[in-house]
Amino acid sequence: MAEEFEPRIVAFLCKWCSSAGADLAGVSRMEYPPNIIPIQVMCSGSVSPLYIFSALSHGADGVLVSGCHPGDCHYIKGNYYARRRLALVKKLLEYIGLEPQRFQMSWVSATEGLKFTQIIKDLVRELQPLGPQNKLRRKF
Amino acid sequence: MEKIIQKSAFPQWLKSLQAFKIFLPKRANYGWELNLNHEVQEIPEDYTYPVVPPKKLIFPQEEIFFEFEQNPEDGIKLKEILPEAEQQVIFGVRPCDGLAVKAMDLVFGGTYEDPYYWRRRRQTILVGLACSQPPSENCFCLSVEGSPSSEEGLDILLTDLGDRYFVKALTEQGKSLLSAASSLFNEPDPRDREAREKIHLEAEKKIKRHLSSARELPEKIKAIFDSDFWDEESLNCLRCGICTYLCPTCHCFDINDETKSLAPLKGRRVRTWDTCQFPDFTMHSSGHNPRPDRASRLRQRLSHKFLYFILLFDRFQCVGCGRCVTLCPVGIDIIEVLTRASNHGA
Amino acid sequence: MVSLEQLKEEVKKILSSGNIKYFIGYENFSSGWQVRPAFIRKPEDVDRLVWTPACFHNLVRFLHDEKRRRAREKNPDTRPVGLIVKGCDSRAINVLIQEKYIERKDVYLIGVSCELMGVIDELKLKRHLPGLKPRKILFSPKETIKVITDDDKEIEIEASEILADRCLECPANFPVVADIILGEKIKKKVTSPYQSISPYEKMSVEERWSFWQEQFSRCLRCYACRSVCPMCYCDECVADSIVYAVTADTTAEEKAQKIKWVERNPEPSENTFYHLVRAIHLAGRCVDCGECERVCPVEIPLRLLNKKLEKEARELFGYEVGFDASQPPLIACFRDNDPQDFIR
């Protein structure tokens, strides 16, 4: 059987909601593809566009930023800033010619372990046909 | 060796040079560039000179020195990366750019040769094209001991005689290019020689801009080193770096280690262009910067071209191509600045 | 039409009053039609000033130098700096005030209205007059630009053919902040404000990638685009700094721990990264003065990047750049109903 391309996804997960949600999925023994490299950040609002560009530059096939639902941010407003800032990043990356599926955002709360697994499964399924990300990847 | 080749035979000459990487002038939206993609097998009539000078092909923007890698058995290994062994021929090199290559040869040569520069340099054959008219409004090669038909630094000098080129092979490498397709080349007759002389002389008369008594500039610049003349002249400067990046003789560089991973250690050392116009070019690790302001940096650039190079090599480092004058976004015109420097305090 | 005489009078008046430190305007080169920034200190020098369709430079950029000069001096002269601002330039001033980089009292602004015209694009001019050398370029009362060539021919060119692309989409053809405004404040009607980027928005993802890679492959990383931008005033640029804010006390460890986001080499991935970082840092701040594109020696169409984000800022968040100096920066504010249809 031919080897399927396994996308490597960098996931920036906010500590208070999304990372907890991911932990819940793990603790509950829910299965999801092992393609993500989770990076815990304090808040989705602390995710700088530089992190996303850097992840892509280092060869990430996809980047996910996940935070608390609007209104539930541990720092009250962080996710609102993230929503605005990362919308611009998404538009810019698409405009440059990067496939839109490669950068995604989600709201995952601490209890949404199942949602988290679904998001990862969908993401891997969407990225598999696209192949490795060679556009922004640093060649050396 | 002097020959004639019909322009109609030019594509065949190019074909005979298939073994080389051939760079021809190509029209781009921003001006001319030297390109490997030849849609047309000729040098177009209205060709002036490339915005990015030929130095990019001999002293590229990025030069990889070596790669380093650490593995558990052998420790850290270095792998030297020398430029590819491939010959290249660059057509359409104006005499000023030829002189510029010669100036760079002096810098990178001498007692200690830069191996990266020379590996490329020795693989490069420069086919010059004499100017029938100044390629730029701001050409002033005559003022800095150049000329529209100067042969220095070139392997061949072509002169456009209308339907044919007068071909003067100046070096052994130049001659070897002709021998690859010797049937295309004929002997010139006295009319050809006369036409060539005429074109060269006429071209000199068409140069509009002049910098008078350039040989007196070194002393004049030295005399006003501490003057606030430079403060006024550099008020417009944005320290954007365009003048130096597009200058055919500017060669300052930066060396950086690009680390791919720390454990195991893996990376490479890369040389890139740098410019004395960037504020931190002369920043010392102590935190002191001897050229902290634009005045000192402008003074530095002009002194390097018109004073220090003369002291080192007895020739101007500026070849009078006029690129910095045309491309400076805020209108700093070195011909004007140097003229004013000359008269300052007089 | 803006009266040059009136402009000179105003500058003379303000300089003679001693209330400003110096005035930044435009002057002709020693020959030809080209114009460059001029620093006028004495009232008698006002005759150097010009106002022509070639006055495309954004003089607001020079406020960076003024601020750095003041930071270095022990007892700085805190009088305001005078400068000429067009509509786009005045919006740049508003952005700088909004970000608290300068205060309104630090500048004395003589606004000039572009009326129904704008400034020219040098490349468009060259393409329009192949072989002809312009000696003088003037505004004319009709919607044309008058060019007088080297051999004294007078040519009238339709403004829409040689005006800069940004002028054809201009949202503010007269200054939105100024101490006085010369010329008539006629609002220019713009039917398609984002026409320059729409061909690229319509392209497929792969076509766009090809297009931008071709552009970035020429990039020399000279950083002229960044050096000329009035909004790029950071002492240390996060992308690739050519200035390090270090002192004698900065330890070696601090220097070694600086994060290098972009390598200095001009490989396509690094060039793209640099331009992406610059574009995102200018979101909600770029006023489309067009300088980045104008100064680029290899003509990378940079304003197409910034214009796209300007459009998104307006369409997604209702944000307009540079009209109101009291509004918060784009990414320092939010609305409850900011779009989130892209979020799972």
Q: What is the CATH number of the domain that holds C155?
A: 2.40.50
Contacts of B258 in chain A (CB under 8 A): 140
pLDDT (tens digit, 9 = 90+) per residue, A49-85?
999 999 999 999 999 999 999 999 999 999 999 999 9
pLDDT (tens digit, 9 = 90+) per residue, B181-212?
999 999 999 999 999 999 999 999 999 999 99
Task: For chain A, positions 53-82, list CB contacts with chain C under 8 A.
Answer: 53-54, 57, 70, 77, 80-81
Question: Residue B306 and residue B172: Cα distance in Å, rounded?
Answer: 32
Contact C228 B329 (CB under 8 A): yes
DSSP annotation string for B276-302: TTSTTTT--TTS--S--SHHHHHHHHH
Closest CA relative to residue B250, chosen from B334, B182, B192, B184 = B334
Residue B85: inside a domain, yes or no? yes
3-state secondary structure of C157: strand
Query: Are B180 and B104 members of one domain?
Result: yes
> To probe the interface with B, which of C220, C232, C237 has the most B CB atoms within 10 Å?
C220
Closest CA relative to residue C290, chosen from C122, C164, C173 = C164
Contacts of B260 in chain A (CB under 8 A): 140
Place of tokens 């538009």: A91
How many angstroms separate the CA of residue B58 from the nearest CA in chain A? 22
- DSSP letter (8 states) at residue B50: B
pLDDT (tens digit, 9 = 90+) per residue, B247-269?
999 999 999 999 999 889 999 99
pLDDT (tens digit, 9 = 90+) per residue, B138-171?
999 999 999 999 999 999 999 999 999 999 999 9
Q: Which residue on chain C is closest to A105 by alpha carbon?
A: C343
The pLDDT value recorded for residue A108 is: 97
Lowest mean pLDDT: which of A3-12, B337-346, C301-310? B337-346
Q: Using 70 as the pLDDT threshold, list the residues of chain C that sit under it.
A: none
Q: How many domains is chain B built from?
A: 2
Q: Which residue on chain C is closest to A119 by alpha carbon?
A: C344
Contacts of A119 in chain C (CB under 8 A): 344
Query: Are B179 and B260 members of one domain?
Result: no
Query: Are C231 and C276 members of one domain?
Result: yes
Contacts of A90 in chain C (CB under 8 A): 342
Sheet containing B253-261, strands listed edge to edge, beginning at the edge strand earlier in sequence: B75-80, B62-71, B266-273, B253-261
> To probe the interface with C, which of B55, B240, B250, B255 has the most C CB atoms within 10 Å?
B240
Neighbour-count burial for A62-74, b at 16+ CB within 10 Å, e otherwise: bbbbbbbebeebe
Question: Residue A57 and residue A49: Cα distance in Å, rounded?
Answer: 12
Contacts of A81 in chain C (CB under 8 A): 331-332, 334
Question: Residue B124 and residue B118: Cα distance in Å, rounded?
Answer: 10
Residue B74: inside a domain, yes or no? no
Q: Residue B324's domain spans which residues?
A: 214-343
User: How many beta-carbon pairs under 8 angstroms link A with C?
Assistant: 107
- DSSP letter (8 states) at residue C120: B
Closest CA relative to residue B258, chosen from B29, B50, B7, B66 = B66
Considering chain C, what percentage of its residues have pLDDT values greater than 70? 100
Query: Are B189 and B259 members of one domain?
Result: no
Query: Are C96 and C180 members of one domain?
Result: yes
CB C57 within 8 A of CB C37: yes
**Which residues lie below 8 Å from residue A118, measured CB to CB, with a gap of 6+?**
none
Question: For the structural domain made of A9-127, what CATH number should be given?
Answer: 3.40.50
Long-range contacts of B44-50 (CB under 8 A, 24+ apart): B47/B92, B47/B129, B47/B135, B48/B135, B48/B136, B49/B92, B49/B94, B49/B96, B49/B97, B49/B135, B49/B136, B49/B321, B50/B25, B50/B92
Query: Are C289 and C173 members of one domain?
Result: yes
Query: Are B178 and B240 members of one domain?
Result: no
Q: Residue C133's domain spans which residues?
A: 122-162
Contacts of B270 in chain C (CB under 8 A): 263-265
pLDDT (tens digit, 9 = 90+) per residue, B5-52?
999 999 999 999 989 999 999 999 889 999 997 778 899 999 999 999
User: Where exactly are the structural domains of chain A?
Assistant: 9-127
Residue C344: inside a domain, yes or no? no
How many angstroms separate the CA of residue A44 from the nearest CA in chain B? 27
Would you state the structure tokens that stand for residue C304, as one six-digit string?
């197409």
The pLDDT value recorded for residue A2 is: 52
Contact C37 B236 (CB under 8 A): yes
Instruction: Give the H/E segment covering residue C281.
Output: helix C268-281
Query: What average pLDDT does this structure show over B108-113?
Result: 94
Question: Residue A70 and residue A73: Cα distance in Å, rounded?
Answer: 7
Last residue of a domain, one of B171, B188, B206: B206
Residue C99: inside a domain, yes or no? yes
Indicate whether A1 pLDDT > 50. no
Contact C222 B283 (CB under 8 A): no
Query: Are C203 and C147 members of one domain?
Result: no
Interface list for chain B against chain A, based on CB atoms closer than 8 Å: 258, 260, 268
CB B87 within 8 A of CB B19: yes
Residue B9: count of CB within 10 angstroms of its CB: 17
- In single-letter form, the type of residue at position B165 comes to Y
| Measured distance between the N- and C-terminal CA atoms of chain A, rounded to whole angstroms | 31
Residue B86: inside a domain, yes or no? yes
Query: Are B231 and B308 members of one domain?
Result: yes
Contact C39 B236 (CB under 8 A): yes
Query: Are C187 and C292 members of one domain?
Result: yes
pTM above 0.90, yes or no: yes
Contacts of C280 in chain A (CB under 8 A): 49, 88-89, 92
Q: pLDDT category, B346, cuts 50, 70, 90?
A: low
How many C-alpha atoms does A22 have within 13 Å on its Cβ side?
25
Q: Does A18 touch chain C (CB under 8 A)?
A: no
Task: Find the CB nearest B62 among C32, C241, C265.
Answer: C265
Query: Are B143 and B20 members of one domain?
Result: yes
Contacts of C39 in chain B (CB under 8 A): 232, 235-236
- DSSP letter (8 states) at residue B152: T
Q: Does C114 touch chain B (CB under 8 A)?
A: no
Query: Are B289 and B150 members of one domain?
Result: no
- DSSP letter (8 states) at residue A76: S
Q: What's the length of chain B?
A: 346
Residue C136: count of CB within 10 angstroms of its CB: 16
Alpha helices for C110-158 (secondary structure H): 122-128
